[in-house]
Amino acid sequence: MDDLLAQLRALPGLTEKKRGVFYRKSRAFLHFHEDPKGMFADISDPNERIDVTHPAGQAALMNAARDRLKV
C-alpha cells in the first residue's frame, strides 16, 4: 500500500488530508476501506469502489484517478 499511496501523492491536484484520504480542491476524492475481503478504494466523480488488494486493482485505481484528474 505504501507504493500505491506514493503514486497517488505524486498526482497533481490531490491533497492528502489524512493518511489515505485524498481531496481534490475542497471535495473528497478518494479514500480506502479494509474489510475481510481485502482492501478497497472509493473514488468519486463518478463514485466507484475498486478492489486494490492485488496489483491489477491498484493499476485500475491509478488509471481511474488519472482519468478523473485528466493527467
Residue 57, pLDDT score = 98
Q: Give residue-wise pLDDT tens across range 7-62.
A: 999 999 999 999 999 999 999 999 999 999 999 999 999 999 999 999 999 999 99
Task: For residue 18, give every residue at least 6 positions away whose Cβ sits within 8 Å of its Cβ, in sequence order, or none.
Answer: none
Contact yes or no for 48/34 (Cβ under 8 A): no
pLDDT band of residue 69 (cuts 50, 70, 90) is very high
d(CA 39, CA 55): 12
pLDDT (0 to 100) of residue 66 = 98
Tell me, what's the pLDDT at 24? 97
Q: What is the pTM of this model?
A: 0.94
